[in-house]
Homo-oligomer: A and B are copies of this chain.
Amino acid sequence: MLQAERQTLILEQLKLKGRVYAADLAAQLGVSEDTVRRDLNRLGETKLLRRVHGGALPLQLDVPDYADRLESRNPGKQKRAEAALAFIEPGMTLLLDSGETCRYLAMALPRDMPLTVVTTCPLIACELVHHDRVEVILLGGRFFKPALRCVGSGAAEMIRRMHFDLCFMGLCALHPQRGFSAKYYEEAEIMRITIEQADKTVIMGDRDHLGTVSHHQVVPARDLDVLITDSGADASVLEALAEQGVEIVPV
């Protein structure tokens, strides 16, 4: 049996059962435990599974819900938001996705620049109350609390009738091969539609989310235009993304 074949089987098994044991796999695949361990370690390094003592678990990047994250101030997000400002020009129509990163961007927007900001996140709308020259369009629908955003057909319909110069999103999980993914099905759908309507999509997020996979794919990596991330991010992942046409902006 080929190594790659074996690793594929391991991943399938993992997906099927939700967990795999090194010892079981060794017996089942007819190789030594060392070999299985080496396979598991490699798959873990490339972020295709979560290696744990005794076996492996599916990757579930447990992003804490937005509602729980609101309070903490985060200098990294602040910096990425400031870097994102460079893409914005007066008169543009922006979409700000839900997420803390985008909230920082909303707060960082210059108050004297005329802009139209579209968002599904009520919190972001509230942040922009004192930006007198920013027109805010709030996309309504069912309020999906874990992600603090509106989802559903109402919001989707409204987005399909719009067009954005720029679309900004926080980074949940981005993997060179497995694309940009989100934690919840509901938000993944809205995000996908949003990206379709935008001239340019800018993603912001730190190294911890790079090379990871979450539950629902939004779009493949090549559909993204710019990634603003911290300079300490894994070079090989950045390179792989750059090859797919993503402009990397380190801060």
Contacts and interface: CB of A to CB of B under 8 A. Distances in A.
Given A2-B52, A122-B123, A126-B123, A142 B136 contact: yes
B148 A143 contact: no
A251 interface: no
Interface stretch (A87-95, A150-158, A166-174, A229-237): A150-158
A111 interface: no
A109 to B, nearest CB: 14
B122 A5 contact: no
Contact of A2 (B1, B19, B130, B154): B19
A244 to B, nearest CB: 32
Q: Give this chain's copy count.
A: 2
A136 B150 CA distance: 9
A53 interface: yes
Contact of A150 (B53, B55, B138, B145): B138
Interface string A57-68: 100110000011
A141 interface: yes
Given A57-B2, A129-B148, A138 B158 contact: no
A226 to B, nearest CB: 26
Contacts of A139: 140
A111 to B, nearest CB: 13
Interface in A180-224: none
A228 interface: no
Interface string A36-58: 00000000000000101111010
A106 interface: no
A125 interface: yes
Nearest to A123: B126
Contacts of A165: none
B54 A3 contact: yes
Given A52-B2, A143-B125, A67 B137 contact: no
Contacts of A137: 140-143
B2 A53 contact: yes
A177 B4 CA distance: 26
Given A2-B54, A135-B143, A138-B140, 10 more contacts: A3-B53, A4-B50, A5-B52, A122-B126, A122-B138, A125-B143, A126-B126, A128-B143, A129-B148, A138-B150
20 contacts: A1-B19, A2-B19, A2-B52, A2-B54, A5-B52, A67-B129, A67-B130, A122-B122, A123-B126, A126-B126, A128-B143, A129-B145, A135-B142, A136-B143, A137-B143, A138-B141, A138-B142, A138-B143, A140-B155, A140-B158
